[in-house]
Structure 1
Amino acid sequence: MLFLAICVLSLWLSWKFFILFNPKLYQYVNIELLYFQIKLNIGFILMFGILIYLCRKLRHSLTAQKIMPFICVGMFGITLCRDGYLIGVLSPATAIGAISVISVGLILFERKVIYTALIPSLIFLGSIVYLTLNGKIAYAPQFNTASSITFFPFTNQFWVFSMLFFMIPIVVSCFVLQEIMLSQWRHREQIFKTLSTIDPLTELFNRRSIYQQLEKIEQNLIFSTESYGIILLDLDFFKSINDCYGHLVGDKVLIQVAQTLRQNVRLHDIVGRYGGEEFIMIINDNNQMLTRHIAERCRHALSQLNLTTTDGQNILITASFGIAYLKSGTSVQQALHHADAAMYRAKSAGRNSIVLA
């Protein structure tokens, strides 16, 4: 916001210096006020530069973090009100500039910070309008009241180009700032969305995400003859691994199992961590043969894993698999219940095996 204020003031200075070097334009402006405003603008630029330095210097101070936004936004509001009064509070540049800056401010700062500066600014501008309408003060004193620019501004090229010169950079700057911030928000939203659907340890889909995908599949199957195989598997004696070697080793086992499962399914198949040492795979299988084949391939791959601890002890990994099918007329809960029951029958049958519901 402070950099934007310096940019706005720099634009004002360039406009005023342009007039100074073009004497034929003197007829349209209050030249004495112009000289004074140049000095004032330079002073404000230096002041905003000091504020930027203080913000960087005190960025770790909690007190400064609370106070500086009010000071910076307040000073920026004073600058805009002053400039708005000079060129006309009802001019297009004042209106569009105020709307653009307020919209960016509401994104950058807390609302109370913006409203603390906005309410006094609106009162000030409203008072200027009232005093102008009642002839107490001159309207747009930066321009020469003796010229036609005061009475017919839209027919005067100097006034029109001045308004465009003030408006376009502010609008473009605010648009770019908003686009940058919105892009960051979209990126952050995507990160949060990913974190809410992915298990952080194994980087597989988590249980919540699995349920959401199964519900979508269930809806699609209402008018379809397709079927999906659901494979539930539970690592055998995983509690013993945690008890004997510790949870860090247990986590490494889970990560290795997740990688192995991903390597033994197709790209469009769904693999997730169902909870604890349980995993789930969802296979698009119309002939109900592929699911059994993939389950067997995963079972064999897990049994061939060569995991060793830091002291050289081998860890044997096996899993019990249960298979059920989700198709039209079968609910997600029914399919999961059947797969879970089949998995426990595999455990009862001696583990390291596959049972079809």
Structure 2
Amino acid sequence: MTVSIYQLGYKKLSRIIFEWQAADRVSLMALFILMETYLHWLWCLYVWIRRDTLGAYVDIEMLYPVWLCINVMGLFTWWMVEYLSRIKNDDVRLNRWQIVFVSVYSVYIILIGLLLGHSGFFAGVSLVGGIMLGMMLIRRRYIWRAFLGQLLLILVLTSLQQWGGVNIPNLQRAISGVEILGSYNHLAETAIVLALENDIDRLTALDEIRRSAMLFWHSTYMYLAVPKAIFIVYVFRTLLIILDTSKEETLKHANQDGLTQLTNRRYGLMKMQDTFSLFVLEDKQNYSVILMDLDFFKRINDNYGHQVGDQVLQEVAGVLKSTLQETCNVSRYGGEEFLIVLPDTSHREVLTIAEQLRSNIAEHVIQMTDDFSLQVTASFGVYTLTCEELTRIKQDHMTSESEPVKPVLTKLQKLKRRHNKQTQVEYSISEQAQNGLPSDMCQRLISIADKALYEAKDRGRNQVVSANEMRAAKSRSESPSASGTESL
């Protein structure tokens, strides 16, 4: 047999949904239906055993063909579970038998609903629950067509019964001409009550039988519908957990650097943009950036191989994570470059942090084998954007925007501009959303930190260099007429 009842755990179900072949999924669907028919079979057995008691409100003569129909459906489903394992590699036969299986089950579940009487709860769970489960395990177009066919068949049978004068038999035995459940014949019921109003004992007995019958049939519908409803809810709850887990894993792989387990460049820049937007809106005092590069990393790859280089990167990433707080945004910016973003951190604090990182990396021993170890150093470029400089940048940017230089356009460029007018309007709106700042502000901050990083390398590596100090020294060396600060 292709599947067994022991394969219905959480991990197995996720494997079924995403990895199993079509034949295995259809076989599992057949197993679920076999379990459902077994519940129907047990109900018939219970009624047959207590036929002397339940015969007052169950048509025992009608029970035998219903029981036979359930047995036939159960045998057919069991055969399907076995047969599908033999045709799993034959797509044509598999598709054909899927159609047959879905059609047979659709007719069966409608007939069972009609024969057991009227119950919206039972009919709804049987119809919708089976369709929802089928959508997961069988070709959706087959299930969709089966669903439409079921609705059409129910509509036809209901119309024949209500307006066509066709009496569809069911297992509910009417008591003194009055239906136990469903639509009551109020005239017949009133006539019976009037006829028996002088016979209190018979009227009381009749009422007791009707209440017992209603309790029995409501219990029947609960017995047949609740297990299926619970199972369907469990399956879809598990499916949602699987989808959430898959989403988390997908986002993790999309945002995480596979080697160092830090965030990758794309996600690091996105988080930087988010924190910078908050910095602008909340008018915080400082926004600091560290760009770090391992010294002579190419020599490590050339001399010892890329496997040793990979371990060095992993060890350095571990030092970064152990030294920095979880709130810091640390990402692998390039091959051996790392970007560290520290919102609301003063320049003195960020210099202290960078120096601590430099010292920890230089002192960390990377043990390759028992008799071989390495130590590496790193260079750091640091830049802190203050609130005052942010205000100046806004003013300079707004001034430059107020006096645009009109470029000389060719006819083709004018035509393109005319067609892209709407895009230009949207871009202008997005710039205004940046509170008057250039759209590439984050990249500009990284570029300034990068200049400090190159200065650290020029000074001999294994150093921390402040871009703020570099810019202040350059400003002092300029003539008094020059602006006090270098523009971003």
Shorter-chain TM-score bucket reads 0.7 to 0.9
Deviation track 1:157-216 (CA, whole Å, cap 9, x = no partner) reads: 143333333332222221122112112211222222222221111111112221222122
User: Looking at both structures, which has the greater relative contact order when contacts are Cα pairs under 8 Å and sequence separation is at least 6?
Assistant: 1
- SS of the equivalent of 2:347 reads coil
- SS of the equivalent of 2:346 reads coil
Task: Check conservation: 1:89, 1:95, Cα contact below 8 A.
Answer: no
Match of 1:152 among 175, 180, 184: 184
With the length of structure 2 as denominator, give the TM-score of the two structures.
0.64
Q: How many equivalent pairs are there?
A: 356
Residue of structure 1 equivalent to 2:44: 16
CA distance in 2, matches of 1:125, 1:173: 25
Q: Which has the larger radius of gyration?
A: 2
Residue of structure 1 equivalent to 2:226: 168
CA distance in 2, matches of 1:346, 1:69: 70
Pair 174,287 (structure 1): closer, same or farther in 2 beyond 3 Å: same
- SS of the equivalent of 1:199 reads coil
Q: Which moved more, 1:69-78 or 1:164-173?
A: 69-78
Residue of structure 2 equivalent to 1:333: 443
CA distance in 1, matches of 2:322, 2:362: 14
Q: Are 2:257 and 1:257 aligned?
A: no
CA distance in 1, matches of 2:157, 2:58: 20
Residue of structure 1 equivalent to 2:129: 100
Match of 1:185 among 243, 251, 259: 243
Deviation track 1:255-289 (CA, whole Å, cap 9, x = no partner) reads: 11111211222333232111221111223553322
Deviation track 1:22-75 (CA, whole Å, cap 9, x = no partner) reads: 4232243332231122233233223323333455x4597473996365555444
Q: Which moved more, 1:291-300 or 1:16-25?
A: 16-25
Residue of structure 1 equivalent to 2:91: 63
Pair 71,295 (structure 1): closer, same or farther in 2 beyond 3 Å: farther
Residue of structure 1 equivalent to 2:33: 5
Task: Check conservation: 1:320, 1:343, Cα contact below 8 A.
Answer: yes
- SS of the equivalent of 2:331 reads strand
Task: Check conservation: 1:27, 1:147, Cα contact below 8 A.
Answer: no
- SS of the equivalent of 1:323 reads strand
Q: Are 2:200 and 1:142 aligned?
A: no
Residue identity in the other structure for 1:16 = C
The aligned runs of 1:38-77 (5 Å cut-off) are: 38-54=67-83, 57=85, 61=89, 63=91, 67=95, 70=99, 72-77=101-106
Pair 340,13 (structure 1): closer, same or farther in 2 beyond 3 Å: same
Pair 314,187 (structure 1): closer, same or farther in 2 beyond 3 Å: closer
Q: Which runs of 5+ in 2 are unaligned?
A: 1-28, 186-209, 394-440, 468-488
CA distance in 1, matches of 2:118, 2:139: 26
With the length of structure 1 as denominator, give the TM-score of the two structures.
0.85
- SS of the equivalent of 2:273 reads helix
Q: Are 2:263 and 1:205 aligned?
A: yes
CA distance in 1, matches of 2:110, 2:332: 59
Q: Which runs of 5+ in 1 are unaligned?
A: none
CA distance in 2, matches of 1:38, 1:315: 79
Residue of structure 1 equivalent to 2:65: 36
Residue identity in the other structure for 2:36 = V
- SS of the equivalent of 2:55 reads helix
- SS of the equivalent of 1:352 reads coil
Residue identity in the other structure for 1:148 = E
Residue identity in the other structure for 1:217 = T
Superposed CA RMSD in Å reads 3.2
CA distance in 2, matches of 1:107, 1:261: 45
Pair 313,117 (structure 1): closer, same or farther in 2 beyond 3 Å: same
Q: Are 2:326 and 1:267 aligned?
A: yes
CA distance in 2, matches of 1:76, 1:353: 75
Match of 1:351 among 447, 461, 477: 461
Pair 321,65 (structure 1): closer, same or farther in 2 beyond 3 Å: farther
Q: Which moved more, 1:251-260 or 1:136-145?
A: 136-145
Deviation, 1:311, is 11
Residue of structure 1 equivalent to 2:294: 235
CA distance in 2, matches of 1:212, 1:70: 49
Pair 225,311 (structure 1): closer, same or farther in 2 beyond 3 Å: closer
Identity %: 26
CA distance in 1, matches of 2:293, 2:90: 50
Residue identity in the other structure for 2:297 = F
Q: Which moved more, 1:137-146 or 1:291-300?
A: 137-146
Task: Check conservation: 1:87, 1:140, Cα contact below 8 A.
Answer: no
Deviation, 1:337, is 1.9
Residue of structure 2 equivalent to 1:296: 355
Q: Which moved more, 1:44-53 or 1:184-193?
A: 44-53
